[in-house]
Amino acid sequence: MTRIVMLAATAAVLMIAAIFFPFLELQVGGLSRKSSVFDAITAFSASGMLPLSIAVAALIVVLPFARLVAIAYALGPMALGWHPAPQAARAFRWAEATRPWAMAEIFIVGVAVALVKITGLAKVTPGPAFWAFAALVLVTVLKDSFMCRLTVWKTLEERSRS
């Protein structure tokens, strides 16, 4: 339980770093361009596809982040041996329901594919945010594999009753 909360907290910090630091740097001849994850999100809105922009933002940033917060909120007090916070069950249920929609790890594979696509065209260097994001995915996968949802539900129920 403690381990999950720690991992969730680590992931949240990495997430913030991943969004704002430059993600990839592209160089062609003398020209260079740095993009952050934020630019990838707004890329669609520039071409008149604002709804898609919002959807991408939700899938790779907002949802994963909100899930981390919800999980930390639901499990944090229990890791310390306290009573669960009010609405902890609701927060955890929400985190479970949105799991298929948090697509950070898919985004990373997408980045890899995109890199191969443009290697012929230009030189691309991953920035600090890229590593933060990759670490984030790793931490999230670890966290999900440590977490047994049935145990969490059982503990939530027992602690809130006593």
Partner 1 sequence: MENARRTQSVLTARRAGLVGCTTCGRVHARQAVTCRRCGSRLASRDTGSLQRVWAWLFAGMIAYIPANLYPMLVTSTFGKTQQNTIVGGVIELFDHGSWGVALIVFVASVLIPIGKFIAIAYLAVSARSAVVIRGHGRQHLYEVVEFIGRWSMIDVFVVAILAALVQLDFVATVHPGIAAASFALSVAFTMISAQNFDPRLLWDAYEADDT
Closest approach of Cβ 41 to partner 1, in Å?
7
What's the CA gap between 148 and 11, in Å, rounded?
18
Closer CB to partner 1, 9 or 108, in the complex: 108
What's the CA gap between 100 and 140, in Å, rounded?
13
Spell out the residues 6+ positions from residue 15 whose beta carbon is closer than 8 angstroms to its own: 61, 64, 65, 68, 132, 136
Of residues 86-125, those binding partner 1 (CB under 8 A):
89-90, 92-93, 96-97, 100-101, 103, 106-107, 109-114, 116-118, 120-122, 124
Closest approach of Cβ 139 to partner 1, in Å?
19
* Cα dihedral 52/64/19/87 (nearest 10): 110
Closest approach of Cβ 5 to partner 1, in Å?
19
Closer CB to partner 1, 6 or 58, in the complex: 58
